[in-house]
Amino acid sequence: MSIELILGGARSGKSRHAETRAQASAAAVTVIATAQALDEEMVARIRRHQNDRPSAWRTVETPRALAATLSREAAPGRCLVVDCLTLWLANLLDGAENLPPGADASALPHFTEERDALLATLPQLPGHILLVSNEVGLGLVPEHPLGRLFRDEAGRLNQQVAQLADTVTFVAAGLPLTLKAPG
């Protein structure tokens, strides 16, 4: 069993790196896709990702119940690629624009439950788990409260998953930099 967290900015090559790592595992691969095709631009992005993957790979779409899906799909000799934690988090933050000023994400239905389930489930999973996530904390402080909430929760989630991961890699300009290695 191993957990890898692959971080990077938009178009950094993090998904491509995860796919390369999955192919190198020589295991049966299942992609756990968290994106929702809510507009034409997102449909095109999803299609591009699908076309880039080997046809033998399975895809399971999971916009919210990630821990349950991972528990169901993980198995010895199988590699799961979660692409990506950031979109999953955005799905969980749906409705945050209606929170009162100063409220945090724990006030959202299912947010804490789903996040805590993921963090409790990851160390129990058999097989090889690759988790892709955006590093969103390197830019300017977002102007709007919802943007700041998202940035803060993404940063917290990345830190929590990094603590559980055996390997953490940061990808910039298609180049992987190992931040944490096994051992």
d(CA 66, CA 84): 10
CA-wise closest residue to 57 among 83, 36, 35: 83
Q: Is-catalytic flag, 49?
A: yes
Query: If residue 100 lies in a helix (H) or strand (E), which one and from where to where?
Result: none
Could you tell me which of 128, 138, 147 has the C-alpha nearest to residue 172? 138
| Residue 60, Ramachandran bin (φ over 0: left; ψ between -120 and 50: alpha; else beta) | beta
Q: What angle do CA 136, 97, 40 make, to 5 degrees?
A: 70
Q: CA 148, CA 24: separation in Å to the nearest integer? A: 37
Catalytic residue among 17, 49, 110, 144: 49
To 5 degrees, how large is the angle CA 125–CA 9–CA 13? Answer: 75
> Which residues are the active-site residues?
49
